Amino acid sequence: MRSNSRLSSLRKEIERTTHEIFSLIDKRLSLVRKVSEEKEREGISVINRDVERHLQNNVIEMCSGRNLDARFALRILNQLIQESVQVQLERNPVNSPPSVAEIFSKARRMNNAGKHILHLEVGEPDFAPPNQARRKLMKALSRGDVGYTESQGILLLRRKIADVFNQRYSRQISADEVIVTAGGRLALFLAVSSVVQAGDEVIILEPSYPAYSRFVTEVGGRPVSLSTELEDFWEPEISELEQQINPTTKAIILNSPSNPTGKVLDESVFRRIVGLANDHDIFVLSDEVYSRFTQSHYTSILEHPKCSYVCVQSFSKTYGMTGFRLGFAISNTKTINMMAKLQGLLLTSVPEFVQYSGLGALDSKDEVKHNVGVIESRSKAMNGLLKELPVSFYPPDGGFYFFPQFQNKELDSVDFAEHLLEEKGVCIVPGTIYGRRYSSFFRIALCQEKQVLIEAVRRIGEMLE
């Protein structure tokens, strides 16, 4: 009875301590709301990494004098910081730009109402799927290959993917190190979910594909932005990257060629980032879905096999198979198994007949060469067209996009995009979607015929007059 009494007493003390913790969290959030009011009044940005680093250093110092694991404490702090950011953003919704999906939906509604819209907003190429992909799909349907498959994907396709990349990068990737996913986006989400725990930090180079930060926050992680600038040719500053790394940093997300800038990371820069990741035991999540559309030397994470990585690829861009929802990832078997278990929970498997289309696509070298040539031709044309407008831009090294900046930096890209759509029937993406500091930028996709691009840029020029 004495031991039970002692246990009961300890449990009551834990309960009281838990109440105190949540009372302090409530007090902290109340202070955050007051801070938010002051920031809004002064026009100050919600996120301040210097303040966050000061808090993190204080926590590390506090842990050194107590029986507390610093990484555990920092992960809790990061969750508090992330909640504080969300509270401030909810108080000031003007800080939240529309999503690409919302912009696309509005343009579609205008299309359906009878207004002809020139679509420069969505990175959906207009080339048809390869004939071999379609034939493989139809044969699979006629054979009755319409059932469930293993969550990791059919062995034939995984072996084929491994063979293609082994040949391309002189590797020895096995089929067990490949997962077939329902699109490249799901591959990214599965990778983040398998690598990142609640409170972990993930470094993301901005401007960036907005899904990266969303995925990180969805699994309880903390996205940490490292801004790059047009004036620096979108090159990340390695010393700044190193400053962002702390004991909770779990991954760095790379996207080369970049969506939206078209930047291909220089080989030496890529190597230095991988070196930092190795030194600090950090995963590199490398989104390489635009890798075939490059006009300069391209470095893949697969050229760095000693690094902890997930390489994400997709059939959507290279092969014009966006509606097939077929992607894949390459990593170590432990990570691939985790991703496969999660995909099994979400959707069992990618449709069997769709997977067979991937076998045909991988043999379609002529179509890929044609598709790459089409985008390169459009990129050269767009480069000339934009030079005639009052904008500044980095001529992309690859990918599908241009990311110009208004020479009049007082122009807001959200307002401009709305007026351009309503008045000129041209749909573009505001730069703030790719990072809050890029409000004077906008993104153009090269996924329409050249004549459409020429007319769209003409109308953009009229709006800028």
Residue 378 sits in the same domain as residue 391: yes
pLDDT per position as a tens digit, 260-272: 999 999 999 999 9
Instruction: Give the tokens for residue 24.
Output: 């302090």
Domain-terminating residue out of 363, 380, 415: 363
Residue 181 sits in the same domain as residue 46: no
- Percent pLDDT > 70 in the chain is 98
Non-local (6+) Cβ contacts of 114 within 8 A are: none
Question: Which of 313, 323, 261, 266 shows the shortest CA–CA distance to 290?
Answer: 313
Instruction: State the CATH number of the domain containing residue 338.
Output: 3.40.640.10
Is residue 129 situated within a structural domain? no
Q: What is the dihedral of CA 72, 78, 81, 82, to 10 degrees?
A: -130
Non-local (6+) Cβ contacts of 277 within 8 A are: 252, 283, 284, 307, 308
Is residue 395 situated within a structural domain? yes
The pLDDT of residue 139 is above 80: yes
Residue 173 sits in the same domain as residue 251: yes
pLDDT per position as a tens digit, 202-246: 999 999 999 999 999 999 999 999 999 999 999 999 999 999 999
Residue 79 sits in the same domain as residue 66: yes
Is residue 15 situated within a structural domain? no
**Number of independent structural domains in the chain:** 3
pLDDT per position as a tens digit, 59-75: 999 998 888 998 899 99
Could you give the CA distance from residue 289 to residue 287 in angstroms, rounded to a whole number? 6
* Structure confidence at residue 65 (pLDDT): 82
Contact between 413 and 272 under an 8 Å Cβ cutoff? The reply is no
Residue 51 sits in the same domain as residue 175: no
Residue 245 sits in the same domain as residue 274: yes
Residue 191 sits in the same domain as residue 254: yes
Helix (H) or strand (E) holding 181: strand 178-181
Is residue 19 situated within a structural domain? no
Is residue 345 situated within a structural domain? yes
Contact between 33 and 83 under an 8 Å Cβ cutoff? The reply is no
Secondary structure of residue 265 in the 3-state scheme: coil
Residue 340 sits in the same domain as residue 441: no
Domain-terminating residue out of 341, 363, 385: 363
pLDDT, mean of residues 114-135: 93
Instruction: State the CATH number of the domain containing residue 375.
Output: 3.90.1150.10
Residue 413 sits in the same domain as residue 284: no
pLDDT-derived band at 113 (thresholds 50, 70, 90) equals: confident
Residue 331 sits in the same domain as residue 271: yes
Structural domain of 331: 145-363
Residue 409 sits in the same domain as residue 449: yes
* Structure confidence at residue 425 (pLDDT): 94
- pTM value? 0.91
Residue 87 sits in the same domain as residue 179: no
Is residue 6 situated within a structural domain? no
Domain-terminating residue out of 363, 393, 417: 363
Is residue 20 situated within a structural domain? no
pLDDT-derived band at 191 (thresholds 50, 70, 90) equals: very high
Is residue 91 situated within a structural domain? yes
228-262 as b/e, with b when 16 or more CB fall inside 10 Å? bebeeebebeeeebeeebbbbbbbbbbbbbbbbbb
